[in-house]
Amino acid sequence: MGEEEPRIGVFICHCGVNIGGVVNVPEVVKYAKTLPNVAHAEDNIYTCSEAGLASIKEAIKKRKLNRVIVASCTPRTHEPLFRSACSEAKLNHYLFEMANIREQCSWVHAHQLEKATKKAKDIVRMAVARATWLEPQEEPELEIKDNALVIGGGISGMTAALTLADQGFKVYLVEKEPELGGNLRRLHKLYPTMQDTLEILEPTIKAVSANKKIETLVSTTVSDVKGYVGNFKVTLAKNGEKREIEIGTIIVACGAMNYTPPKGLYQYGVYPNVVTQLEMDELLRNGKIEKPPERVIMIQCVGARKGEIRAVDLTGFPKSDTARLLAKILKAKREEGWPYCSKICCMNAIKNAILIKEKFPETDVIILYGDVRVYKEYEDFYSEARENQVKFVKHIEEVTPEITQEPEGKLTVTAYDALSGLEMKLPCDWVVLSTPLIPRKEEVILARMLKIPISQDGFLMEAHLKLRPVDTQMDGIFLAGAASGPKDVPESIISAKAAAARASILMANKKMRTEALTSFVDEEQCIGCGLCEEICSYGAHYLEDAKSHTIAALCRGCGACAAECPRRAITMQHFTDAQILAQVKAALTEEV
Amino acid sequence: MAEKTVLIIGGGVSGIQASLDLASRGYKVYLVEKSPSIGGRMAQLDKTFPTLDCSMCILAPKMIDCSHHANVQLLTYSEVKRVKGSRGNFLVTVLRKPRFVDETKCTGCGICADHCPVEVPNEFDEQLGMRKAIYMPFPQAVPRSMTVDKANCIECGLCQKMCQAGAVDLKQEPKEVELNVGAVIVSIGFDLFDPTQIPTYGYGRYRNLITSLELERLLCASGPTGGHLIRPSDGKIPRKIAFIQCVGSRDRRFGTTYCSSICCKYSVKDAVLIREHEPNTMVTIFYIDLRAFGKGFQEFVNRAKSEYGVRFVRSSPGEIMEDPVTKNLAIWYEDTVAGRIESTEFDLVVLCPALVPRADARELAKVLGAEVDSYGFFKAADILTNPVDTTVPGIFACGYCLGPKTGDIPDSIMQGSATAARVAEVLERV
């Protein structure tokens, strides 16, 4: 095709009145016919209709078109449709070009009819200039191995492994600890059903060990990851022994860990009866609280919602106390901690409060909170706690409660009631700190090996926070459970199943087509400086024999390497310098 | 081939996700949607929290993927009437309501609607804008086909005359189709609590008292006001806006004792959007507990306070009174932190109603033989370990029809994918 004279067909869409009501479409058609290499131009009421698509296919055949341009709306929504029409008429779909004269013209210039028509001509002229230089491209097909690696043997990792194994895929389940179970091992009971954690954990572990498709590797870590979607080469390490496996997809279920306050914060580590909520779980589970306490005080958001300086909003505070409180608040030392809300701590505190009340009905349990974030149906769980006489007190969060020890070993918590503004001195036997789930330290190393970015909150980052919550920016790598942020058990299970669903698509199809829009190195020009390898965020470039090479499957087509290359040895396929320069030149040329 | 075929009921974002995941995995998917277009609630939203992505811009490509996918067959404007059989082999009867337009011929050019003489309020715009009796609910509708609303059509025949594609067929009859599928996924979403049930608020009586979904349409660039934030009574830009949380949520009077999970978050988002639209407009949010959980959200609230000056008052207001002349609304409330009862006047008040089960959820549950919980949401087989299975083997559920355990869009999407995994797990074993 490269040698052939370009014969461009231009299809200009009225889009009902969307474009036709503003742009003089017949005039643009007439203009398009005068442009170099344009062999055919026509207008359609709706180019995307069956009739419109049929006329593209017909024109490709009858007018021997070897380039097609549709001037209409956005490629985001309609390019696939027009590309497939070209393919059906045996025209390589990379020889299709779209000119957006709706969003970028008629919609924004709805009241400037003449100027809009002129701009539509400019846009079409630019598209024609670029189309002249288009070349056919092939989308390479990749083989996908139909086995998976799940990193992390907590409830999320085990669920993901079982979900995949049940569909017939071989799974390697890697856990760094000597046994499966993760965080749930330390928990006593689960809200809101109050089931014993073991009731859920044990059957799951049994199912994993009984499943022949799952190879469980405990006391094992991932020490290296190479390759790309469908063809990862992963090195696993166990007691210094290394083993390499080849797998198709990876699910990261490395979980999160409970934040332990630094010694001295809320007197944690100073007084033995100041514990974290997770430690309280363990104490309750092991029956370590034998003597009925007179009072237990739980403090929410210890180390959570703290990393940033929160705005001190005094609008609501009682006028009489404001001045006194403001002085105190401004003096208050900023607590160490994490900026986000960990989401599960309110429910966890309520759960332990109910458990304490069940065991010791006479014990006074007070929860000091900023907001009670018991979302979902957990509201009913919160009501249950209040019916059980658990007391909830909104305190002024900006002032860190002070904890002092009385001579006989009791503690006193000093805090401010947000509703009355008054100081409260509350003697108690236990202070329980609700601390957030935070990212694991290993996560950073994993993220680097897997080339997944980390979000601002320190957890692994999704491909899109809203629309692709279990995908990562790396094809073939997915996120399950608390690796991407705090989650409770049902949320972890749902995300694990979702990650398994996404991974199974690749493995069930056994192959995938990758984008043709990748970087291409001209070895003649390449001086092997390695700048491209350095700048590539995806590890798509490597040097061999002093020349750069591209791993097409890893390349995302961002073009950073092409911009960086001092010898212009790198070309972005489908976005070549010639194509872009022709388009720029056309933009700067006046209408002819 | 029932084993490799799935019925999905409800074309919102979770149903779309389940459809795409299963179709890409090689399953044949029938996606049944009651209304003329897929897209669901997410299509009605202006922007999504906390990233402030334009909702339609990120949803539309997924809707289009669905309609282009060789393995997905869309059955819009259709309802599931009967379901027989069991896991691996369900026999489903779907009623295809007549849209009086041939979907295969219609290009959605809208010329018919230009000529239609009948104007009625548009449900998609929460009745704030108008549509014709022949209409497309919103410009990005999938399928791109018009629908005749026969209840309001005067049968003048103009649409038929104007249609260049010959797509209008006013004699179309309802049709029943039988489908044989291996599994069923329910994703019918939610309705809003009807705020007229709280007479002291006066919703329906006061023009400047709107719901949060109405506000979404007012903020949306493709909405009835072209994205201009104006108040309904006089078209003026409101300078003082209040949001009231927990309208029906966490309320024993109506049996809706749960937290709807999303209202605090979208209100903060809306407040920020309002401040960006109209920097001189003050926004106050009346809340009980500010439930800003979830990724990136606490940080977003911090910004709303410090950068955007959004004011938060801890209170569940008691009464709203309208000034008969200015149509401004005075909110009576107890500021529980300050310990005072106060009254403040606002130009526009936004109610954040509870999310409740769809009106027809119980009926559909009956058709499917599935149980609903005490609120009327679809009941999960086990809320801890089996959260997307219904009580009927082979029938799964995702999205808000499972109740507020679905927090938001990513939760709905994860559940959509999770049901896809469950279907594959169950059917690959058959």
Task: For chain B, positions 284-323, list CB contacts with chain A under 8 A.
Answer: 289-299, 302, 305-306, 311-314
Q: How far is B143 from chain A (nearest CA, A)?
A: 11
- Provide the 8-state DSSP code for A102: I
Predicted pLDDT of residue B186: 98
Q: Residue B265 and residue B286: Cα distance in Å, rounded?
A: 13
Task: For chain B, positions 334-373, list CB contacts with chain A under 8 A.
Answer: 335-339
Task: Write out chain A residues lying below 8 Å of B114, CB-based.
Answer: 17
Interface probe for A, chosen from B265, B291, B303, B315 (most Cβ of A below 10 Å), is: B291
Q: Residue B33 and residue B40: Cα distance in Å, rounded?
A: 9
Location of structure tokens 């003082």? B240
For the record, the structure tokens of B233 come out as 């009574």
User: What domains sit in chain B, N to C, each tagged with a CATH number?
Assistant: 2-97+174-189+358-429 (3.50.50.60), 194-354 (3.50.50.60)
- Split at pLDDT 50, 70, 90, the class of A307 is low
Long-range pairs, A416-421, Cβ under 8 A, ≥24: A416/A325, A417/A393, A418/A394, A418/B337, A419/A394, A419/B336, A419/B337, A419/B339, A420/A318, A420/B339, A421/A317, A421/A318, A421/A320, A421/A321, A421/A325, A421/A396
- Split at pLDDT 50, 70, 90, the class of A314 is very low
- What Cα–Cα distance (Å) separates residue B51 from each residue in B137, B153, B414? 26, 42, 18
Cβ-based contacts under 8 A for chains A and B: 230
Predicted pLDDT of residue A222: 97
Q: Does A317 have pLDDT greater than 50?
A: no
CB neighbours (10 Å) of residue A3? 4
Q: Residue B70 and residue B65: Cα distance in Å, rounded?
A: 10
Predicted pLDDT of residue A335: 53
Q: Does A322 have pLDDT greater than 50?
A: no
Q: Does A592 have pLDDT greater than 70?
A: no
* For range A120-126, the mean pLDDT: 97
Location of structure tokens 């043709």? A516
* For range B46-51, the mean pLDDT: 88
Lowest mean pLDDT: which of A240-254, A304-318, B272-286?
A304-318
Lowest mean pLDDT: which of A418-427, B172-181, B311-320, B376-385?
A418-427
Lowest mean pLDDT: which of A58-72, A491-505, A540-554, B348-362?
A540-554
Q: Which of B136, B142, B2 is nearest to B62 (CA)?
A: B142
Q: Residue A557 and residue A574: Cα distance in Å, rounded?
A: 10
Location of structure tokens 């007190």? A393
For the record, the structure tokens of A166 come out as 């049940």
Location of structure tokens 């033989």? B369
* For range A319-336, the mean pLDDT: 51
pLDDT per residue as tens digits for the range B62-113: 998 898 899 999 999 999 999 999 999 999 999 999 999 999 888 887 889 9
Q: Does B226 have pLDDT greater than 90?
A: no
* For range A432-457, the mean pLDDT: 90
Q: Which residues are within 8 A (CB) of A286 and not within 5 positions of it... i.e. 6 or more apart?
A: none
Q: Does A87 have pLDDT greater than 50?
A: yes
Provide the pairing of β-strand B319-322 with B311-314: unpaired
| Dihedral sign, Cα of residue A16, residue A19, residue A23, residue A27 | negative
Q: Please report the DSSP string for B381-396 in residue order.
A: SBTTTBTTB-SSTTEE
Contact call for B259 and A193, based on CB within 8 A? no
Q: Residue A416 and residue A398: Cα distance in Å, rounded?
A: 10
Write phi, then psi, for A182 (nearest 5 degrees). 60, -145
* For range A147-163, the mean pLDDT: 98
pLDDT per residue as tens digits for the range A37-51: 999 999 998 888 777
Q: Which residues are within 8 A (CB) of A290 and not within 5 positions of it... i.e. 6 or more apart?
A: none
Q: Is A547 helix (H, G, I), strand (E, B) or coil?
A: strand
Determine the distance from the C-alpha atom of residue A336 to the mean position of all C-alpha atoms in its chain, rounded to a whole number: 26
Q: How far is A269 from chain B (nearest CA, A)?
A: 28
Q: Does A135 have pLDDT greater than 80?
A: yes
Q: Which residue has the higher pLDDT, A442 or A273?
A: A273
Q: Residue A418 and residue A370: Cα distance in Å, rounded?
A: 9
Q: Residue A255 and residue B24: Cα distance in Å, rounded?
A: 28
% pLDDT > 70, chain B: 100
Average pLDDT, chain A: 91
Predicted pLDDT of residue A328: 55
Contact call for A489 and B384, based on CB within 8 A? yes
Provide the pairing of β-strand B329-335 with B319-322: antiparallel
Q: Does B323 have pLDDT greater than 50?
A: yes
Say whether residue B405 is in contact with chain A using an 8 A CB cutoff.
yes
* For range A541-548, the mean pLDDT: 92
- Provide the 8-state DSSP code for A462: P
For the record, the structure tokens of B56 come out as 């339609």
Q: Which of A544, A538, A499, A497 is nearest to A521 (CA)?
A: A544
Say whether residue A307 is in contact with chain B using an 8 A CB cutoff.
no
The b-or-e profile of B209-248 (16+ CB within 10 A means b, else e) is bbbbbbbbbbbbeebbbeeebebbbeeeebebbbbbbbbb
DSSP H helix total and E strand total for chain B = 9, 24
pTM to 2 decimal places = 0.90
* For range B121-127, the mean pLDDT: 95
pLDDT per residue as tens digits for the range A351-407: 999 999 999 999 999 999 999 999 888 898 999 999 999 999 999 888 889 999 988
Write phi, then psi, for A541 (nearest 5 degrees). -110, 140
Q: How far is A182 from chain B (nearest CA, A)?
A: 16
For the record, the structure tokens of B99 come out as 């849209």
Q: Which residues are within 8 A (CB) of A387 and not within 5 positions of it... i.e. 6 or more apart?
A: none
Q: Does A16 have pLDDT greater than 80?
A: no
Predicted pLDDT of residue B407: 76
Q: Does A177 have pLDDT greater than 90?
A: yes
